[in-house]
A = this chain, B = another copy of it.
Amino acid sequence: MTDSGPAGQHTVRRHNCALVLDAIASSPGVSRAEVAARTGLTKATVSTLVDRLVTASLVREEGRQHRSGPGRRGTSLSLSPDGPCGLGVEIGVDYLATCVVGLTGEVHAEHVRRFDNRDRPPSRVLARAARELDRALADTARRRLTVGGVGVAVPGLVETSSGRVIDAPNLGWQDVDLATDLREHLPTLPGDLMIGNEANLAAVAELEALRHRDEDTPDSFVYVSAEIGIGAGIVLDGALFDGSHGLGGELGHFPVQPRGPRCSCGARGCLERLAGQDAILERAGAADVDTLVTRLDAAERPAITAVRSAGRMLGSALSAVVNLLDVTTIVLGGTYARLHPWLVDPLTAELTDRLMGSPWRSVEVRRSVLGAEAAVRGAATSALRTVLTDPDTYIARRVQAEDRTTNSVGSRIDGGSGSSPAS
């Protein structure tokens, strides 16, 4: 959302409204007076804007602040758990996942459905995604939840500014205008539509989850996940780093064997062709990840060997990443999170072996706290980011759409197939 033209009265209000909401979001429990002090706005302006945010259910007021010292105690302000939710959908190679997350991080619903999306025409996959989204919207309406925006996670290169999927080799997609196409399938999608790479979104979700749990959160880490493909998300100095066009964090096509087998991208010996989920399953002779884990638990040799081999290749590739970026932590997500107990030792050994200055520094290889849900969670929370960074536009749209929404929600409830959320 960018401003254009000179800063008029509306632009100023938009800016100040965002300032006030940011002050409240980053310090839950603040008073109006404290928000005024932090933002440099007058108390009168803050009060007007807070009232607007409270009416729109973005902010909640509670009792009196617990604070000693002189002066009147203020009302305590925080993000509202009754505020708008983010609706996320993840387009996996062999599944579609949806998730509804509230402003304060609570997960209202999560749903995963198996679909073979590989080499299907984008329109067919998007029709499925639209049905899943519609189902989730009907469910939120039934629970009287408002959806503030929709986020889509895609296993491929996404130009985030335009919502265009440039290349998703494992889906067989190239140059798909996903934002436009998805809206054609489901014109009733509320709020802004945010399209992102699944690993980047997962990395952001992981960062938020770690901060939320008050765990020792590394400032910089590389999140690596495997499903059919391998994705990575880079967090530097506490924020996602995704490069000049938002295309950064691609690790799946790291060259591991110069004369290795041909990959879906056209090149040879890529990491995901040799150490991705399919390669591990094939080498272990297991039909799916559940079977693989059962065999690993039973310490069956082919399963152990397959995972250890993938761990070494992953460790070698990650040594190059750590030598380049000097991050302290690797977080394993997706299928790698499930395989962490068997993967971590060979991976760490190879990584350390190739790490420059390794006797004087080390790298921690952690398991993701969110696991397979990270990407769809990230899609849902990223959808809320436009509400949080531009609450005034959200409020204005909501006022305009109030009547229409009431009608269409009614028809959606009638037409919905009543899926119940898993999780």
Residues of A within 8 A of B (CB): 157, 166-167, 174-175, 219-220, 232, 234, 236, 241-251, 253-258, 265-267, 316-317, 319-321, 323-328, 353-354, 356-357, 359-361
With A and B bound together, what is the CA distance between A253 and B266 in angstroms?
Answer: 25
A249 and B244 alpha carbons, distance in the complex (Å): 18
Which 5 A-B pairs have CB atoms at the shortest separation, nearest pair first? A243-B326, A248-B326, A250-B323, A166-B357, A167-B357
Q: List 8 A-B contacts (CB under 8 A).
A: A157-B357, A243-B325, A245-B326, A250-B324, A250-B356, A251-B324, A254-B323, A320-B320
Contact partner of A249 (CB less than 8 A), chosen from B219, B317, B324, is B324
Given contacts A167-B357, A323-B250, A243 and B220 within 8 Å (CB-CB): yes
Contacts of A254 in B (CB 8 A): 320, 323
- The verdict on A247 contacting B316 (CB below 8 Å), with A234-B324, A242-B326, A258-B256 known, is no
Give min CB distance, A336 to chain B, whole Å. Answer: 17
- The reply to whether B167 and A356 contact each other, CB–CB distance below 8 Å, is yes
- Would you give the shortest CB distance from A175 to chain B, in whole angstroms? 7
> CB-CB < 8 A to A166: which residues of B?
357, 360-361
Given A253-B354, A356-B167, verify A327-B247 contact (CB < 8 Å).
Answer: no
Chain B residues whose C-beta falls within 8 Å of the C-beta of A353 in the assembled complex:
266-267
CA distance A360 to B254 in the complex (A): 19
Contact A246 B326 (CB under 8 A): yes
**A250, chain B: closest CB distance, angstroms:** 4
A236 — nearest CB in chain B belongs to which residue? B241
The residues of B that contact A265 with a CB separation of less than 8 Å are: 354, 356
Q: How far is the CA of A236 from the CA of B316 in the complex (A)?
A: 25
Residue numbers in B under 8 Å from A359 (CB-CB) = 174
Q: Closest CB-CB distance, A166 to chain B, in whole Å?
A: 4
B255–A354 touching, CB < 8 Å: yes
> Residue on B with the closest CB to A167?
B357
- A327–B244 contact, CB under 8 A? yes
What residue of chain B has the Cβ atom nearest to residue A246's Cβ? B326
In Å, the complex CA distance between A316 and B319 comes to: 16
> Are A253 and B323 neighbours in the complex by a CB distance under 8 Å?
yes
The answer on a CB contact under 8 Å between B248 and A175 is no
Output the least CB separation between A282 and chain B (Å). Answer: 19
* Distance (whole angstroms) from the CB of A122 to the closest CB of chain B: 16
CB nearest neighbor in B for A312? B258
Determine which residue in A254, A265, A324, A360 has the highest number of CB atoms from chain B within 10 A of its CB, and name it.
A324
Is the pair A247, B320 in contact by a Cβ cutoff of 8 Å? Answer: no
**Interface-central residue, A242, A319, A357, by most chain B CB under 10 Å:** A357
Assembled-state Cα–Cα distance A286/B267 (Å): 33
In Å, the complex CA distance between A319 and B220 comes to 22
Whole-angstrom CA separation of A326 from B253 in the bound complex:
14
Residue on B nearest A256 in the bound complex, by CB? B258
Say whether B220 contacts A244, CB under 8 Å: yes
**Residues of the B chain whose Cβ atoms lie less than 8 Å from the Cβ of A316:** 255, 258
